[in-house]
Amino acid sequence: MSTFLFDKIIFGPVRSRRLGVSLGINLLPLNRKVCNFNCIYCECGWTPEGSDELSPLPRRDEVYKALENKLAEMKIRGLAPDVITFAGNGEPTLHPDFPGIVDDSIEIRNRYFPEARIAVLSNSTNITVPKIREALLKVDQNILKLDSGFDLTVRVHNQPRVNIKVKELIQNLRDLNGQFIIQTLFLRGKHDGITIDNTTPEEIEAWLKALVLIRPAEVMIYTISRDTPDGDSLHKVPLADLNRIAEQVRRLGIKTVVSD
């Protein structure tokens, strides 16, 4: 199955399953993915080990100009975004000017569409870096990944290229004092001959225990909806099953949103 890369700094607006009318910001190269995860379900495909091809990151001033031009155009056309979302071809917090670009985006948003939210989709790996953490806490929706409460599942699903221990990640998330949204993707199938299913009773129990400890402001539950680099071996989790999982989260007193 085919995957895709975003070929612009600013893309959309698109209708997001979880966020509404979303204008995207891609801080990564336009011709390849840059990430410290290699998730088996990523719509941008596999993370390359390296490339001799020149793949520059967009400069801070380029992002500023592109965002301002797009919002000015949308203002003229009467098209208001619900959210301006840092996403794109990998992990946005890897950009060296990420904190400054967040400040820029807030300033531009306030001039054109002050009612629009600013969101960041992150894999949670850089939340202990002081400047990254400070920037994430400035945005309206700080959306952080937690796909499982087990190290082995994270290694299979997310294939991190950095040392990730779920116990340490949970503690780091706790330190954010609930100023974040947890985003979890549930799926089933096989990868390299290994059965994939983070909806089993054992998986859900461990994941719920993690949520109790970290107490996020909200949980976003979803499943695959686009092509994945692993082809047809991965499968959507039915909406009814996602809703059953969501009800267990709501019983913990945590707001939960489901999209299939």
Question: Domains in the chain, ordered, with CATH?
Answer: 10-258 (3.20.20.70)
Verify cis geometry, omega within 30 degrees of 0, for the bond prior to 13.
yes
Greater pLDDT, 191 or 127: 127
Cβ–Cβ under 8 Å, residues 26 and 250: no
pLDDT of residue 248: 98
| Residue 228, both tokens | 């994945």
**For residue 187, is pLDDT > 70?**
yes
| Residue 178, both tokens | 């609930």
**What are the tens digits of pLDDT across the range 59-77?**
999 999 999 999 999 999 9
**What are the tens digits of pLDDT across the range 90-125?**
999 999 999 999 999 999 999 999 999 999 999 999
Share of the chain above pLDDT 90, in %: 79
Give the model's confidence band at 51: pLDDT under 50 very low, under 70 low, under 90 confident, else very high. Answer: low
Q: How far is CA 197 from the centre of its chain?
A: 20
**For residue 29, is pLDDT > 50?**
yes
pLDDT of residue 54: 57
pLDDT of residue 1: 45
Task: Give the ranges where the chain is alpha helix by DSSP (H).
Answer: 60-77, 98-112, 130-136, 151-158, 166-174, 201-214, 239-250
Share of the chain above pLDDT 70, in %: 97
**What are the tens digits of pLDDT across the range 125-174?**
999 999 999 999 999 999 999 999 999 999 999 999 999 999 999 999 99
Question: For residue 191, what is the enclosing H or E element?
Answer: strand 188-191
Question: For residue 15, what is the enclosing H or E element?
Answer: strand 10-16
pLDDT of residue 4: 75
Largest CA distance in the chain: 53
235 residue type, one letter: H
DSSP class of 102? H
pLDDT of residue 232: 79
Cβ–Cβ under 8 Å, residues 166 and 209: no
Give the model's confidence band at 80: pLDDT under 50 very low, under 70 low, under 90 confident, else very high. Answer: very high
**What are the tens digits of pLDDT across the range 193-237?**
889 999 999 999 999 999 999 999 999 999 998 888 877 789 999
